Amino acid sequence: MIKSQEALKCLKNYILKKEVFLRFDNGALLDGNTVEAYVYLKNKIFVNAYFIKSGIARADRTREYKYKTKFIEFEKVGEI
């Protein structure tokens, strides 16, 4: 399964129709239709980190943001 398909499947299974909380970093508004945010489930699971640790997503290395270093470290965890 392609990673993007796997990510969509996880989003549908674990996020869709659930209450989530968004936290925004500097420059969260990319354009008129796209906002970058950290996503948390009601039980405080950090969805962004979970996806990276699971190997479904990768850290964005093109810009600076609060959790960049942590996300890159999480990728290494997912490689084990």
Task: Name the pTM for this structure.
Answer: 0.81
- pLDDT higher than threshold 80 for residue 59: yes
- Is a pLDDT exceeding 70 seen at residue 1? no
Q: pLDDT for 7-52, tens place per residue?
A: 889 888 888 999 999 998 876 666 777 778 999 999 999 999 999 9
Kindly tell me if the per-residue pLDDT of 4 is higher than 90.
no
Calculate the alpha carbon distances from 12 to 37, 66, 68 in Å.
Answer: 18, 26, 25
The range of the structural domain enclosing residue 12 comes to 3-79
pLDDT at residue 56 in the model = 87
Rounded distance between C-alpha atoms, residue 27 and residue 45, angstroms: 23
Count how many domains the chain has.
1
